[in-house]
Structure 1
């Protein structure tokens, strides 16, 4: 479950991730994670989709401001673009998503961010940190997406959940409506 980074910012950050040699750059669209990869049974999907629709229905769009870079090293080999605004909105939505049928403990405290380098040599991680230290982008979080991990290793959005959507269904840009 993620908040997608919209164009042109998402494509730019994905290209930067690829430029650092991150092998996952083309398999994972740029995003802010709400729930890390979670395996679910197909029979549970309908309840999960209904839960996510309920979460989205109670929320409103909120601004996201990306500013500069950060890292989780030495705890985790990740360099990321930081959020300067929208942290509280992400935390609120994440807490709601991580309830009901998706309730589970997480291995780390939640820290919204956009990964730009992961499991790369230290000098490359340092380069990514430096090159994106001055990065900035502003956009509105319109909702969130449920992704599926394909057999080819690529994560693709399957459903979009639009904040504040009514009972007529949840739709998103070019995805399956959730009705």
Structure 2
């Protein structure tokens, strides 16, 4: 009996936080600095058209996006529940949502969940660990400007959730 394994290609569009803020937050994965996902890992087939659109400046927003991070949230009561603790984007979410909508529409991306701008603090941990991280960041508040977005491509065996190995990203000005 032969079992076929498939690999999928994914795109991630993220806005990195300035270092002076990112350095204060945990890295949920060792290889990923704190950021706001504009397009969460989404399966794609045509990476060339995505690169070309970003290279052409199709998604430039006309300048930095002012944001405020304030408040802790989680997706544990969503449908389906997802064990994620995050910082909420209290200001600037509207511009991030417009950017996400434009990218989704341009490439026909389908989201598993509605867009909700946030900074992930930890995920897929036992409830006690999620609660500990939430409590440790309960009073965290920061105001900054996002100046860039990074487009990264990765590959994963066809698993759920995907276990993606990311390649180097390309940075574009907002």
**Preserved contact between residue 151 and residue 169 of structure 2 (Cα < 8 Å):** yes
SS at match of 1:46: helix
Matched, 1:158 2:132: no
**Preserved contact between residue 61 and residue 99 of structure 2 (Cα < 8 Å):** no
What is the match of residue 69 of structure 1?
A: 72
What is the match of residue 38 of structure 2?
A: 34
Deviations 1:28-52 (A, max 9, x none): 22111111213444xx333212223
Q: How does 1:52-131 map to 2 (within 5 A)?
A: 52=54, 53-74=56-77, 75-100=81-106, 102-131=107-136
Structure 1 segments (4+ residues) deviating >6 Å: none
Measured in 2, the distance between the counterparts of 1:114 and 1:157 equals 20
Measured in 1, the distance between the counterparts of 2:168 and 2:65 equals 21
SS at match of 1:8: helix
Measured in 2, the distance between the counterparts of 1:123 and 1:57 equals 41
Measured in 2, the distance between the counterparts of 1:55 and 1:93 equals 10
Matched, 1:7 2:9: no
Structure 1 position 150, deviation (Å): 7.7
Give the TM-score, by structure 1 length. 0.75
Say which structure, 1 or 2, has more relative contact order (CA 8 Å, 6+ apart): 2
Measured in 2, the distance between the counterparts of 1:132 and 1:154 equals 28
> CA distance change for structure 1 residues 58 and 140 in 2, over 3 Å: closer, same or farther?
closer
Gaps of 5+ in 2: 1-12, 157-163
More strand as a share of residues: 2
RMSD: 2.3
| Number of equivalent positions | 152
More helix as a share of residues: 1
